[in-house]
Amino acid sequence: MIDPRLLRDDPDRVAAALSRRGVDPAALEQLRLLDEQRRELIAGVDAARAEQRTASQAIGRAEPADRPALIAQAGARKGELAAREQQLARVEADHAAAFARVPNLPHPDAPDGVEGDGVVRGTLGQRPSFDFPPRDHVELLEAADAIDLARGAKVSGARFAYLKGEGALLEFALVRYAIDIAMEYGHVPVIPPVLVRESAMYGTGFLPTDAQQLFTTRDEEYYLIGTSEVPLAALHLDELLDPDDLPVRYVGYSPCFRREAGAHGKDTRGILRVHQFEKVELFSFVAPEDSDAEHERILAIEQEVFDGLQIHAQIVDIPVGDLGASAARKFDLEAWLPGQDAYREITSCSNTTDYQARRLRTRIRVDRGNNVLAHTLNGTALAVQRAIIALVEQHQREDGSVVVPARLQPYLGRERLFAG
RNA sequence: GGAGGGUUGGCCGAGCGGACGAAGGCAGCGGUCUUGAAAACCGCCGUGCGGCGCGAGUCGUACCGGGGGUUCGAAUCCCCCACCCUCCGCCA
C-alpha cells in the first residue's frame, strides 16, 4: 500500500510517479477525496464518542437516585453514534480496497518502458560457444534419466515433472551451495510454511492483484505460496523491530506453486515454467535509508551464486511497466540458454520499499514514538529448475555429459554429470 | 477427532460491570550517590488513527488474541472464530 499521507500532502508528486506505471491521475484524485471523506468522518465519530463517554462516566459518579434520568439521557444518543460509526465503516472499507489496488511508487532510477525495455547493466561470464549443435535441457536431462516429464504429466498434469537420479542430486547440491553463500552474507536459513492464510497473501501484496496465479486448498482456508517471499515477509507481521536488530536477513528454501494462468502455450517444453518448483529466496528487513544499498547487496549475492556456477547471464534493470505491484525497482539475472538461443530470467530481486511493510505493519522503533515502516527486499538466490536448465545447457559437452563447475563439485561429489 | 484449561503492555503478572491505558515486578532509558562499577533511591517508560502546532509537543479517539452482541457504560457478561497448553485417540 502506498502512503495515504503522501497522497494527501503531495498529490502531484504521487500522480507523477504513478503515471510512469500507467495509473490514471483521475483515479488517484478519487482516492484522495475518499481519504478526505474518511478523515471528516473520523473527526465526527471521535467527537460523538467523547460526548457519550463523558455522559456514561457521569452516571457512575452520580448519586443512585439521580441515575435513571441520566441513563435515559445518555441512551438517547446511542442511535446517532451508531449511524455515524456505520457510515465510517463503509468508507473505511472502500478506502482500504481502493488503496490496496494502487501499485508502489517506482524508484526514480528505474527505467521507463514496458516488458522488454529493460536496461542491461552488466554481464556475467562469457557466452559459451559450441562446436556441435547444443541440446536443450529436456534432451540432456531425459537422456540421463534425470527428469521424467511424461510421468509428471501422467500423475499431475501439464507443467509437472519428476527430478530423478543426478537431477535430484543436483537440486540438493545447488540448494546447499546457494544457502552457504547467502549465509556468508548474514542471511539466516529458514524453512517456512508453504501454506499461508489470506492475511499473509494480502500483506505481501499478492492479493488482491495476483489471485489468478495462486493455488488454494480445497477448503480455501489456505493459499499455497508462489514464493517463500510470502512467509518470510509475513514473519514480522504486526511487529515493531528494534533498530539494533537491523538488518534482519533470511534465506528461505521452499517449493513454490504457480497456476501460470494466462501463460497457455508459453514455455510448454521442459521445466522452465512449471506449476511447482523449488527456490532459495533471500529476504531482508532494513531501515528506509539502507534499502538501496541492500538491493545492491542482494544483487551481489545473486551474481556470486551464478558467477560461481560459471553461468553466463546479463543483469537487467527492469522497466517500471514490468514491475510487480509491490516493487519500486527490480533487477533480473537473465541467463543465456543455448537450447533457446535466448536470455531468460533466472533470478529477480526487488526493493519493495515500505509498500509491503505498510500492509504487514512491520515497523522500526525510533525515539519518542516516531516509529517508521521498515523497508523490505527480496531476491532469488537460486531457482532450482531454472538454474539446472542454465547449468546443463551451458556446460554440456558433445557426448551429452555436463561439466560440473569447480565450486559446485564439493556439493555434488563429482566433476561430471550424465557421464553414463 | 473427543474432553478440559488458557490468551492482558518488550517479558512476567493482577484485575471478574463504572474514576482502567490498565496494579505490581522484571527489562530498558534518564538522574542522585560513587574514583569507576554494583547496590540503593527518584523519575520516565505502549501502539494505531484523527485534530492543532514550524517544532519539542498537545488534544481527542481506539486497542487487554480476532470478530459480533448485551449495557447509559465491557479487559470484566454472552455468542462465533483463531491460536496455545494438558489428557485420550490417530500419526511421519
In the structure, how far is the CA atom of residue A75 from the C1' atom of nucleotide B36, in angstroms?
Answer: 65
SS3 content of chain A, % helix, strand, coil (to 5): 45, 20, 35
A57 vs A62, residue with greater confidence:
A57
Identify the active-site residue in A32, A345, A361, A365: A345
In this prediction, residue A75 carries a pLDDT of 84
Identify the active-site residue in A39, A176, A259, A273: A273
For Cα atoms A196, A184, A390, give the angle at the middle one, nearest 5 degrees.
Answer: 70
In the structure, how far is the CA atom of residue A369 from the C1' atom of nucleotide B40, in angstroms?
Answer: 31
Closest nucleotide relative to residue A48's CA, C1' based: B61
In the structure, how far is the CA atom of residue A243 from the C1' atom of nucleotide B21, in angstroms?
Answer: 25
In this prediction, residue A48 carries a pLDDT of 92
| Active-site annotation holds for A258 | yes
pLDDT(A64) > 80 = no
In the structure, how far is the CA atom of residue A349 from the C1' atom of nucleotide B65, in angstroms?
Answer: 35
Mean per-residue pLDDT of chain A: 93
In this prediction, residue A369 carries a pLDDT of 63
Closest nucleotide relative to residue A38's CA, C1' based: B50
In this prediction, residue A365 carries a pLDDT of 83
Strand B nucleotides within a 7 Å radius of protein CB atoms: 10, 18-19, 46-51, 56-57, 60-62, 71-73
| Active-site annotation holds for A386 | yes
Q: pLDDT category, A211, cuts 50, 70, 90?
A: confident
Closest nucleotide relative to residue A361's CA, C1' based: B48
**Count of C-beta atoms within a 10 Å radius of residue A32:** 16
Identify the active-site residue in A21, A159, A249, A258: A258
The string of pLDDT tens digits covering residues A87-123 is 998 999 899 889 988 999 999 999 999 999 999 999 9
pLDDT(A220) > 80 = no
Q: pLDDT category, A22, cuts 50, 70, 90?
A: very high
In the structure, how far is the CA atom of residue A203 from the C1' atom of nucleotide B81, in angstroms?
Answer: 20
3-state class of A412 per DSSP? helix
| Active-site annotation holds for A359 | no
Query: What's at A194, amino acid-wise?
Result: V
Q: Name the residue with the least CA to C1' distance from nucleotide B45.
A: A368
The string of pLDDT tens digits covering residues A234-290 is 998 888 888 888 899 999 999 999 999 988 899 999 999 999 999 999 999 999 999
Whether the CB-CB separation of A137 and A153 falls below 8 Å is answered with: no
In the structure, how far is the CA atom of residue A382 from the C1' atom of nucleotide B4, in angstroms?
Answer: 48
Say how far apart CA A65 and CA A72 lie, in whole Å.
13
**For the residues A155-182, what does the mean pLDDT come to?**
97
Which domains are present in chain A? 4-100 (1.10.287.40), 119-417 (3.30.930.10)
In the structure, how far is the CA atom of residue A172 from the C1' atom of nucleotide B34, in angstroms?
Answer: 61
| Residue of A205, A141, A135 lying closest to A384 (CA atoms) | A141
| Most distant CA atoms of chain A, gap in Å | 104
Closest nucleotide relative to residue A221's CA, C1' based: B82
ipTM above 0.85, yes or no: yes
| Residue of A145, A177, A143 lying closest to A162 (CA atoms) | A145
pLDDT(A152) > 90 = yes
Closest nucleotide relative to residue A67's CA, C1' based: B72
In this prediction, residue A291 carries a pLDDT of 95
Say how far apart CA A219 and CA A309 lie, in whole Å.
42
In this prediction, residue A163 carries a pLDDT of 97
**For the residues A387-411, what does the mean pLDDT come to?**
98
In this prediction, residue A76 carries a pLDDT of 80
A170 vs A238, residue with greater confidence:
A170
Which residues get their CB within 7 angstroms of nucleic chain B?
A 4-5, 39, 42-43, 45-47, 49-50, 52-57, 59-61, 67, 71, 74-75, 78, 240, 363, 365, 368-371
pLDDT(A368) > 70 = no
Closest nucleotide relative to residue A78's CA, C1' based: B72
